[in-house]
Amino acid sequence: MNFTPNRVLGKSTPTTYPKRWGFFHRWVPALVLAAGGMIFLGLAGCAGTSSEECLDPGSTGFSAPEDSLGIEEFIALEPAHRRQRRDQAEAWLDRSRNAAKSGDRVRALANAAGLAPDDPEIWLRLATIWRWIGENLRTEACLDNAAAAVRNMGRRESDFYDRSSGYKRGVALRTGLERAWLHYDRAEYNEGLNWARAAVKLEPGNALGWQILGLLEGSVGHRSQAHEAAGDLMRARGYNTDSAWILSTVDTFSGRYREAFNFFLELRPQEDHVAECWRDMGLAAERVGEWSYARRWYRESAAGLPFEDTSCLMKVSHPRLDFRLRSVMQPVWLAFGRYFVTGSRSAYTAYALERFDQASGVEERNNWAGLLVNSAGICIRMNMDVPWARRARGIVFSRTGKTDRGLEDLQRASRQLNELGVEDARVEAEIGYLFLLDEKTRKAIEHLRVALDMDDQQAGAWSDLGLALIMVGDTDEAEKALTRSLELDSSSATAWYNRGLMNFHSGNLDQAEADLKKAAEMAPDNQKVGRLLQQVGRRKKEGG
């Protein structure tokens, strides 16, 4: 018998869209340009703004210029043609600098990149925008193009070949620093450290290099190197912010969260990357349960963002992942209603799970799935609310076809939550569902019963239990479970289908037909329901 586990009817998966899941996937320049033409900076909510002002960067409202080229194609042009395009690019750069609206400014910047793709300055400006928006994949793509443009400057046929070594070193340095910050944002500390070290080698006395190098050295537990970087910065700048910020990362790595928090109590960030410093201060406050400090410091982080146009960033307040502290609301600032910019990473991840659960369409669901997987991974790497981050990521993997990864996350989450004395019905139900998909029926029944003992209002778990009981031949208990599922949620096409299928194989054709007609009402486009209804009709005509 071919039964359908709960949630399979009408299921779609974001794994069909690998670009959304393979973070740091290398994009071709034209796609980056298309995205660049759709983005601008903003901070406050979309209320009162025009539809153009609030376009999502993932929308299709703009496309790359038809004459945009890659570097190799650009270099192959005649020198006069390249000069003509470079002049046009310069005109677009002037528009970008002088545009009143940041949307126009960034679209002009994207046009300039398409016309002169060998200019690393343009790609670096676009990368900076994407990083602040929180769109990591496009940031990486722009940095890839910037790095390619830097390498191209060493070729004799390059228009930049005669530029000074200082200029070339400067753009290479900025590319490395931007990559280091991107990895720091994502808590990919070892990857970021490689870029920071390379940047410091290019210009050993660069204070910005020491800043990110110190933060990354501390974040991987290199205590002496972090102290050395902090000392270098103190001597170079005389500020207290960088040294305290760097030294706090050393204590954070070692789990001395109160000591890390104490570094920030008298701090007032004043130099480069103030928004990131305030953000880390808020995170330090969250780790020790200083919720009012966290909220205040996150507000300072938002105020320190380097945005001129503040029309399209919305603020939400949301509970953190750790649902034992449901009353603890923390702020998050989102670009275009979805991308994390600053605020509580834990609250953003919980918000993303909520939006995933409530998504009304496939595209919206896939978008939030990718964003949640990314954000939960950052929480795990930061050692912030790890069991709950694994729980959230495991649920999304479970619901979107990544069953092995879902089961791994959920089982680890279950063990970690149990160690904290936390029972989670949803985790057990999802584990049961995944065992059911893997045809490990006895294990599925065990976890589903545990889940329902914790919370007997889960319609999906009752439906899954009903299917599992059918598969072991306990049709009486299966019917009770499926009926209970439908009492809780009469709109479940899967539960109606499963009960109809059970009645069909039991020879109860009238009831099977009634159940399957209900399933067809809920999922009119599902061909499995239609085919089974036809079989029921033929069987009835044949006299059962």
Other C-beta atoms closer than 10 Å to the C-beta of 446 total 16
| Average pLDDT over the chain, rounded to an integer | 85
**Is 132's pLDDT higher than 90?**
no
Say which range, 57-61, 135-139, 316-320, 474-478, has the weakest mean pLDDT.
Answer: 57-61
Distance CA 46, CA 301 (A): 20
Q: Which residues contact 300 (CB under 8 A, 6 or more apart)?
A: 269, 278, 281
**Is 474's pLDDT higher than 80?**
yes
**168 contacts 153 by C-beta, under 8 angstroms:** yes
Tens digit of each residue's pLDDT (9 = 90 or more) over 486-510 = 999 999 898 999 999 888 988 899 9
Look at residue 103 in the predicted model and tell me its pLDDT: 67
Give 102's pLDDT tier (boundaries 50, 70, 90).
Answer: low
Structure token digits, residue 378: 């950052």
Which runs of consecutive H residues, i.e. helices, occur in 163-222? 165-185, 189-202, 207-219
The DSSP line for 368-391 is HHHHHHHHHHHHHHHTSSHHHHHH
Look at residue 23 in the predicted model and tell me its pLDDT: 24
Structure token digits, residue 188: 């990919």
Structure token digits, residue 529: 């329901």
**355 contacts 337 by C-beta, under 8 angstroms:** no
Give 397's pLDDT tier (boundaries 50, 70, 90).
Answer: very high
Side chain identity at residue 516, one-letter code: L
Q: What is the mean pLDDT of residues 368-396?
A: 97
The more confidently predicted of residues 503 and 42 is 503
The more confidently predicted of residues 459 and 55 is 459
Look at residue 404 in the predicted model and tell me its pLDDT: 96
Please, which contacts does 235-243 make with residues 24 or more away whose CB atoms are closer than 8 Å? 236/205, 236/207, 236/210, 237/207, 237/271, 239/270, 239/271, 240/267, 241/267, 241/268, 241/269, 241/270, 241/271, 241/277, 242/210, 242/211, 242/214, 242/271
Report the range out of 44-58, 137-151, 220-234, 380-394 with the highest average pLDDT: 380-394
Chain centroid to CA 406: 16
Tens digit of each residue's pLDDT (9 = 90 or more) over 170-186 = 999 999 999 999 999 99
**Is 8's pLDDT higher than 70?**
no
Say which range, 53-62, 457-466, 509-518, has the weakest mean pLDDT.
Answer: 53-62
Give 233's pLDDT tier (boundaries 50, 70, 90).
Answer: confident
Distance CA 3, CA 82 (A): 63
Q: Which residues contact 490 (CB under 8 A, 6 or more apart)?
A: none
**Is 138's pLDDT higher than 90?**
no
Share of the chain above pLDDT 90, in %: 65
Look at residue 67 in the predicted model and tell me its pLDDT: 65
The more confidently predicted of residues 103 and 265 is 265
Q: What is the mean pLDDT of residues 153-171?
A: 90
- CA-only gyration radius of the chain, Å: 27
Say which range, 19-33, 272-286, 310-324, 376-390, has the weakest mean pLDDT.
Answer: 19-33
Report the range out of 65-69, 239-243, 316-320, 504-508 with the highest average pLDDT: 316-320
**Is 134's pLDDT higher than 90?**
no
The more confidently predicted of residues 52 and 539 is 539
Look at residue 321 in the predicted model and tell me its pLDDT: 95
Q: Which residues contact 74 (CB under 8 A, 6 or more apart)?
A: 82, 85, 116, 117, 118
**43 contacts 68 by C-beta, under 8 angstroms:** no
The more confidently predicted of residues 103 and 43 is 103
**Is 329's pLDDT higher than 70?**
yes
